[in-house]
Amino acid sequence: MAEIRFENVTKKFGKVIAVNNFNLVIENQEFVTLVGPSGCGKTTTLNMLAGLEDPAEGLIYIDNEIANIQHPGKRNIAMVFQSYALYPHMNVFNNIAFGLKVKKVRKEEIFKKVNEAAKILGIEDLLNRKPAELSGGQRQRVALGRAIVRNPKVFLLDEPLSNLDAKLRIQMRADLRLLFNRLEGTVVYVTHDQAEAMTLSDKVVIMQYGLIQQVGKPAEVYDFPKNIFVAGFLGSPSMNFIDSILEERLDGTYIKTQNFEFKINNEKASKIKALNKLGSLIIGIRPEDIKIGRPDCLIDSKIEVIENMGSSYIVYFRVGSNRVVATTERYSNLYNGQNIKIGFNLDKLHIFNKETGVAAF
């Protein structure tokens, strides 16, 4: 397979900078996901790697060869699109085999490769059907089969699961991960769905406004977001953010909000002071790091809405002027309008500079 390297890559459409000074190394056989909201530049980055767009600046390397100067057909890349792009008049076998026929591969070799790919994907019994006779998940597998038979250096997938219903997306996520573990391929995957990014990837690249916000393993970017955007983008429900200030007292350093306060240790206080000299902060706490209705809970709140998710509750609280959301195990004694105390797990607290959005820890 292949190592991929982006060096100072920029793409412009007129005056709009779609991708801005993009630098990234994708290791051989690594599964990397570009994730972010619509318009963040992730698909444009994928298209530049595929040769469908030319960068305005910078270099893209595939196995230490400059890809910018190579024709797209010479890059040995297979791409799977959101739309599947199957030929409706051809059966599954011929859809998978089409690229091989164009390259004038021998019939015996085509037959062998198509049947091997069909076996891997579990679609051996569908080879004589037309695309109109297939479900969405089956069509997706055919599109993947067409990519697999080419034995490419790199697999590129552009939101391949977005047309599937929720249940099938979850199933296909697991299938894709197992498939590429078996193929040992280098994969660049684009999605706006954070669940796909977190569950599929060896490495996640989070983008906004054409810029890389953070790169790391899924657990790393979730537990240690570098800024407010990353913290709020990852997680469902998303992280809670509350305005606060840092306050020095005779007995130590406190973080104070409009409705509650708590003391922090000297190490964390030093990190905050190094980041933020003005005193205005934003504290962040994930829903799963909020404790509900226990003796050590100190913050007065009122339950506004309870969403019963079956195995858990998503609970929305009102804390002064702030709405706070928590996830919890099912409690039979919780009800809308209930006044209750909640507490934050201070070991899981995140602190951000209010002006820059950069994280202290």
Q: What is the pLDDT of residues 256-279, one digit of tens each?
A: 999 888 888 888 888 888 776 656
The answer to whether 353 touches 276, Cβ cutoff 8 Å, is yes
The yes-or-no verdict on residue 332 having pLDDT over 80 is no
Tell me which fold the domain 240-353 belongs to. Answer: OB fold (Dihydrolipoamide Acetyltransferase, E2P) (2.40.50)
pLDDT at res. 185:
83
Phi, psi of 334, deg, nearest 5: -90, 145
Q: What is the CATH number of domain 4-227?
A: 3.40.50.300
pLDDT in the model for residue 277: 61
Lookup: tokens for 63: 């196995």
Q: Structural domain boundaries of the chain?
A: 4-227, 240-353
Contacts of 101 (CB under 8 A, 6+ apart): 94, 110
pLDDT of residue 171: 81
Q: Which helix (H) or strand (E) holds 243?
A: strand 240-249
pLDDT beyond 80 at 7: yes
pLDDT score for 228: 97
Contacts 24+ apart (CB under 8 A), 128-131: 128/91, 128/92, 128/93, 129/91, 129/92, 130/88, 130/89, 130/90, 130/91, 130/92, 131/84, 131/86, 131/87, 131/88, 131/90, 131/92, 131/95
> What integer is the mean pLDDT of 315-330?
93
Q: Which two tokens stand for residue 267?
A: 């190490």
- The mean per-residue pLDDT over the stretch 4-30 comes to 96
**How far is Cα 141 from Cα 122, in angstroms, rounded to an integer?**
8
Amino acid 136: pLDDT? 84
Q: Span 223-227, mean pLDDT? A: 97
pLDDT of residue 278: 56
pLDDT at 90: 95
In the prediction, which pLDDT does 74 show? 87
Q: How confident is the model at residue 2 (pLDDT cuts 50, 70, 90)?
A: confident
Pairwise CA distance, residues 116 & 2, whole Å:
22
pLDDT of residue 276: 66
Cβ–Cβ under 8 Å, residues 196 and 182: no
- What pLDDT score was predicted for residue 169? 80
What's residue 219's pLDDT? Answer: 96
- How does pLDDT run across 31-42, given as a tens digit for each residue? 999 999 999 999
Residues 175-190 have a mean pLDDT of 87
Using the predicted structure, report yes or no on whether residue 338 has a pLDDT greater than 90: yes
Distance (Å, whole) CA 234 – CA 122:
33
Give 276-298 pLDDT, tens digit per residue: 665 689 999 999 999 998 777 78
Rounded to an integer, the average pLDDT of 77-85 is 85
Amino acid identity for residue 32 in this structure: V
Q: What average pLDDT score do residues 306-320 get? A: 93
- Reduced to 3 states (helix: H, G, I; strand: E, B; else coil), residue 1 is coil
Percent of the chain whose predicted confidence (pLDDT) is above 70: 99
What pLDDT is recorded for position 6?
A: 98
